[in-house]
Structure 1
Amino acid sequence: MTDPRTDLAAAGARLAALGLSPGSSGNLSVRVDDHILITPTGADLAEVDPDGLSVLDLAGTHLDGPRPSKEFPLHSAFYRRDPGNRAVVHLHARNATAVSCLPPWSVRSAVPPLTPYFVMRVGQTPLVPYAPPGDADQAGGLARLPFPLRAALLQNHGPVLAGPTMARAVDAAVELEEVSALLLALGERSPRLLTPEEAGALGAKYDSPWGEN
């Protein structure tokens, strides 16, 4: 059985190596029983200390370790939404952040179904209205969205994604960055999107949140 602290540190190193976490931006967490282990404020994801994580309860109360990232309300929101979520990744990845500055494709997903892997690995990704980083009201709004999701774009800020494992959350973050790059590369063109039937079939087969838009 793997150690969640080590998994988190390895995920940070991978995301930093891929260029998805510039400087000291981004934060990661894992849920262990009724506790959240999260990267401290100002942490460089390339050099996360597995023994230097902040410890919170599910309500976000700081229990142990250094001061947590101010984005902890986002992480807590995803764990409250779905007890199956065991890891959360928040990044300032360039392409996904650029898409967060554009009008959304639909109410349920800022990103259209361009590729099957976006639907399979990420699913519908709503645009959450802008708020200052760490805003508890924004996190509360995310927690209350009335449709299933495991990813969101924070307007003018960047992506946040959850998964049943850290590996799945990281894979979703990488896939969201890739589909965001494709969307930006297409520019003003009108691409062929997956049809509602095609996207719906993939969502059902891979248990990925995708619904009527």
Structure 2
Amino acid sequence: MTNVSKAREQIAMMAKSIFDRGLTHGSTGNISMRLDDGTLLVTPTGSSMGFLDPGRISHLSGTGELLSGDNPTKEMPLHAAFYETRAATGAVVHLHACHSVALSLFPDIDPDNVLPPLTAYGIMQLGKVQLLPFFVPGDPAMGNAVRGLAGKRSAVLLANHGPVVAGKDLEAAVYAMEELEATARLALLLRGVAANALNTDQIAQIVTRFDVDWT
């Protein structure tokens, strides 16, 4: 198989795993992946993550021209913003994961860092997660909001919509997304409880040891 074919198969496999475990549903969610030649593979618009045909996954040029496959997700401006502002980005995952969406609805969360510091891995894999306001799905303004962060965040949570995570490759992006949803679930389970979250010194130790961007 060519590099494009192998990458399409990898996207379909990871997407099905995400779907089968209930992290997204119906035709929600999308994945993109940057190849070595600068082109992008993107899940098609209106497709279900659980039933992707690898051969129909959109293949786009570096300038967004459709090279093969179906038309890409309408959320391309969101994906493109991460590739433009974070040079190390090799993949972007966007889901409508229920616990993350629920967390975005609470009025008292910190928009600069929506996830409480409950576990070391939440900090290691995500850094600070920025809350962005609500946008109509497909609105290019979502991409502009990500660009406004100037590459400082690898993960954001769209209010009333869902999380978006960029990673160095597809596996890293998917694993970080899973960590985000798991931490959001923990936050909801512990809501109203005086839980022993990580303290400032413990966070600093993790940030220093694992070279986490905590700005």
Conserved 8 A contact 2:85-2:151: no
- Of residues 60, 73, 76, the one that matches 2:77 is 73
For 1:15, the equivalent position in structure 2 comes to 18
How many equivalent pairs are there?
211
SS at match of 1:47: coil
Conserved 8 A contact 1:150-1:209: no
Quick check: 1:44 aligned with 2:34?
A: no
Q: Which amino acid aligns with 1:204?
A: T
**Correspondence 1:48-63 to 2 at 5 A:** 48-63=52-67
User: Judging changes above 3 Å, is the alpha-carbon distance between structure 1 residues 176 and 65 closer, same or farther for their aligned structure 2 residues?
Assistant: same
For 2:165, the equivalent position in structure 1 comes to 161
- Of residues 18, 25, 28, the one that matches 1:25 is 28
- Partners of 1:160 and 1:52 in 2: how far apart? 23
Question: Which runs of no fewer than 5 residues in structure 2 stay unpaired?
Answer: none
- Partners of 2:131 and 2:163 in 1: how far apart? 9
**In the TM superposition, what is the alpha-carbon distance from 1:116 to its structure 2 partner?**
0.8
For 1:187, the equivalent position in structure 2 comes to 191
Deviations 1:55-98 (A, max 9, x none): 23445444443111111111111111112110110001110111
Q: Which amino acid aligns with 2:53?
A: D
The percent identity for this pair of structures is 36
- Partners of 1:191 and 1:147 in 2: how far apart? 32
126-135 vs 146-155, which deviates more?
146-155
For 1:4, the equivalent position in structure 2 comes to 7
**In the TM superposition, what is the alpha-carbon distance from 1:99 to its structure 2 partner?**
0.8
**In the TM superposition, what is the alpha-carbon distance from 1:110 to its structure 2 partner?**
1.0
**Correspondence 1:101-180 to 2 at 5 A:** 101-103=105-107, 105-146=109-150, 148-180=152-184
- Partners of 2:85 and 2:111 in 1: how far apart? 19
**In the TM superposition, what is the alpha-carbon distance from 1:104 to its structure 2 partner?**
5.8
SS at match of 2:183: helix
Conserved 8 A contact 1:200-1:210: no
Aligned Cα root-mean-square deviation (Å): 1.9
TM-score, normalised to structure 1, is 0.91
- Partners of 1:139 and 1:204 in 2: how far apart? 30
Conserved 8 A contact 2:85-2:150: no
SS at match of 2:123: helix
In the TM superposition, structure 1's runs of 4+ consecutive aligned residues that sit over 3 Å from their partners are 57-64
Deviations 1:117-172 (A, max 9, x none): 10012221110111111111121111221462211100110011011111111111
Conserved 8 A contact 2:15-2:50: yes
Question: Which runs of no fewer than 5 residues in structure 1 stay unpaired?
Answer: none
TM-score, normalised to structure 2, is 0.90
